Amino acid sequence: MSRMYQTNMPYNKEKWFQFSVMEQMGNIGSDVGRAILWKNKRNLEYSRMAFESAEELFDLILSDPRWLEMKGRLKEIRMAKNVVYDFLFGENQYNETGEKLMKYFDEFTLAARKDK
């Protein structure tokens, strides 16, 4: 991996599962932000690497036992993953922008900081 590109990974499950959902989504947002940045710079390789890191975190949050009973939350997280992928690499059928996506994830980061 290039020195210019860094991700939040690796996370281990024990550490990840100690984070609140706000912290988890905020961390995902960091990688999504990097993917958007690289997309805007037309570097699809780095954009894909950043998304792959975000995708790993999405998969971790979806496997977090605390959220398994919260079907609405899981549905939102799955949808967020799909929307981000579609924006970055698909046809952008949801008509998203990088700014709107970052605003969505920034709300989680702000909420996580408020809880500390």
For residue range 66-110, list pLDDT tens digits in order.
888 888 889 999 999 999 999 999 999 999 999 999 999 999 999
Q: What distance in Å separates the CA atoms of residue 47 and residue 32, rounded to the nearest whole number?
A: 9
116: pLDDT confidence band, cut at 50, 70 and 90? low
92: left (phi over 0), alpha (psi -120 to 50) or beta: left
What is each CA distance from 83 to 4, 6, 10, 19, 31, in whole angstroms?
Answer: 26, 23, 23, 23, 14
Answer for the pair 101, 36: CB distance below 8 angstroms, yes or no: yes
CB neighbour class for 74 (10 Å; exposed up to 12, middle 13-18, buried from 19): middle
Q: What is the mean pLDDT of the chain?
A: 89
Kindly report the number of other CB atoms within 10 A of residue 71's CB atom.
9
In the predicted model, is pLDDT for residue 11 greater than 70? no
- pTM for this predicted structure: 0.86
> Nearest Cα to 41, choosing from 86, 91, 4, 93?
4
Q: Determine phi and psi for 88, rounding to 5 degrees.
A: -75, -40
